[in-house]
Amino acid sequence: MKILALILTLLVLGISPSLAGDKVRVGLYFAENTPPAPKAELAPKKLEQRLNAVFGFTYYELVKAQEIEMDNEWQQWAVPRNDFFIRVEPLACQPGETKTVYYEIYKDGFIVAKGKYEPHHDTPLFINGPDFKQGRFIFVLEAR
Amino acid sequence: MHDSELKKLLLESCPVRPGQEARAWKALQQRLYSSKPAQSWWSWLYLPVWRGAGIALAAICVLIFVGNSVVMNYRPISFASADSEVPGIYATSFYSHSAQAQVVWLNGLAPATDKPTYLDPTTVIHRTQGQTKPADDPNRL
């Protein structure tokens, strides 16, 4: 019985991380290889490793972050810069369905790309942005 | 020699004493049915016992858990799509197994600059006193 209880607990733990959260954190990171200022807020270690696996930069400095409410089914903007920002809109869904957000990427005031994203815990979305000086801007969308 | 003659000869040479046959049969029955058969430790594999059922259930649960973990780790549990809206800019979405993340890759974007860029004048937000702006990058808010 103890073994069965342990297995059932592990099963529950194995499935639960796939459930989506109620908020999406939208963060703009500046990726670079030169060390940032000492006061700069860097990405958490795990996120840094993941970003490094895709983009290959050494440092990922958080420019600005904000949280998007998934229950508010209207457009919400994350504007960390004048020339590069994102519009996010949680789409309506039936109870039990996976929540999806619609996003639009703006560069210099004009839309350049759009798409959809299903936020899941532990599966962030990285959006490769424009180069800047010796680095690059990257949007990171994470379920909270 | 006929069978009857042979039986008669055997009875004369080896007579069965009264009750001997019944005692032999009784002893044989005791040996056959009263003693437990020797079972190996692996007999639960092919004999229907509760121990085998419990172990089989545990094995099925472990298989489900391992299968679930493998599928969850391999298959992307999220979905992302991307479409370009501007000629010359290409948007690609894919799942990175090494980073365990969805990636949208935009090719053809002009580099960002620290010089003033297009922004509709009506949407310019004037900074109030106390708000500071990074000196090196006017586009950073």
The predicted pLDDT at position B65 comes to: 93
Beta bridge partners of A83: none
Count of other CB atoms within 10 angstroms of residue B131:
9
| Residue at A41 is within a domain | yes
Of A49, A113, A129, the CB nearest to B85: A113
Task: Specify the DSSP class assigned to residue B43.
Answer: G
Summarised one tens digit per residue, pLDDT across range B71-121 is: 766 666 678 999 999 999 999 999 998 999 999 999 999 898 877 665 555
> Which pLDDT value is given to residue A43?
92
Q: DSSP letters of chain A?
A: -HHHHHHHHHHHHHHGGGS--SEEEEEEEEEESS---TTPPBPPHHHHHHHHHHH--SEEEEEEEEEEESS--S-EEE-SBSSEEEEEEEPP--TTSPP-EEEEEEETTEEEEEEEEE-BTTB-EEEEEEEETTEEEEEEEEE-
Q: What is the pLDDT of residue A71?
A: 82
Of the candidates B96, B94, B89, B138, the one whose C-alpha atom is nearest the C-alpha of residue A130 is B89
pLDDT in tens, B18-67: 888 899 999 998 888 876 666 777 777 777 778 888 888 999 999 999 98
Is pLDDT above 80 for B129? no
**Structure tokens, A130:** 């424009």
A14 occurs within a structural domain: no
pLDDT on residue A95 = 80
In a domain, A2, yes or no: no
pLDDT (0 to 100) of residue A102: 94
Domain around A97: 20-143
Residue A11 lies in a domain: no
Residues of chain A with pLDDT under 70: 1-21
Does A1 map to a domain? Answer: no
Give the percent of chain B with pLDDT over 70: 77
Domain assignment present for residue A92? The answer is yes
Q: For residue A89, tell me if it sits in a domain.
A: yes
Give the pLDDT of residue A141.
Answer: 94
Which residue, A137, A135, A134, A121, is CA-closest to A78? Answer: A137
Residue type, position A34, single letter? T
Report yes or no: A111 and A105 within 8 Å, Cβ to Cβ.
yes
pLDDT of residue A126: 95
Chain A CB contacts of B76 below 8 Å? 123
Residues in chain A with CB shorter than 8 Å from the CB of B102 are 117, 123-126
Please report the residues numbered 45 through 84 in chain A whose beta carbons come closer than 8 angstroms to any beta carbon of chain B: 49-51, 53-54, 63-64, 79-84
Residue among A125, A136, A142 with most chain B CBs within 10 A, to mutate? A125
The pLDDT value recorded for residue A20 is 47
Kindly report, residue by residue over A92-110, the tens digit of the pLDDT. Answer: 888 878 889 999 999 988 9
User: Which residue(s) pair with B106 in the sheet?
Assistant: B91
Number of domains in chain A: 1
Distance, in Å, from the CA atom of A31 to the CA atom of A57, rounded to the nearest integer, reads 6
Q: Is residue A116 part of a domain?
A: yes
Across B110-137, average pLDDT: 62
State ipTM.
Answer: 0.81
DSSP assignment letter at B104: E
